[in-house]
Amino acid sequence: MRFRAVDSFSPIKRAEYSLDGGDWQFVEPIGKLSDSKTEDYDFHLAVPRPQPPPPLMAGDTSNDHVVVVRAYDRFDNLATAKTVLHGKLH
């Protein structure tokens, strides 16, 4: 998953993500150091498989996952974004 954090006034301090409302996980920027007003992030998600997989029906969203990212600037101002990953993930 990729995202970009941008702040017009101060450097990005840190970023995190949450999968399906779980604990927040630190995300390291591509450049390994958060010191710019724009930071790019690229990370992989470990999505648990349902046990056992439910039968799929029309409109079934049981295989959807919500990912929320948040980024803080140097003054701890916060911005968030979310996306829904549809379908089966492995």
User: Using one digit for the tens of pLDDT, what is the confidence trace for 76-87?
Assistant: 999 999 999 886
In a domain, 90, yes or no: no
We report the CATH number of the domain holding residue 20 as 2.60.40
pLDDT at 75: 96
In a domain, 50, yes or no: yes
Q: In which domain, by residue range, is 75 found?
A: 2-85
Residue with the bigger pLDDT between 35 and 59: it is 35
Q: What is the pLDDT of residues 18-47, one digit of tens each?
A: 999 999 999 999 999 999 999 999 999 877
In a domain, 56, yes or no: yes
pLDDT at 53: 55
Residues 6+ apart with CB under 8 A from 31: 39, 40
pLDDT at 52: 56
Q: Based on the structure, what is the number of domains in the chain?
A: 1
In a domain, 19, yes or no: yes
Q: What is the CA radius of gyration of the chain?
A: 16
Residues 6+ apart with CB under 8 A from 22: none
In a domain, 40, yes or no: yes
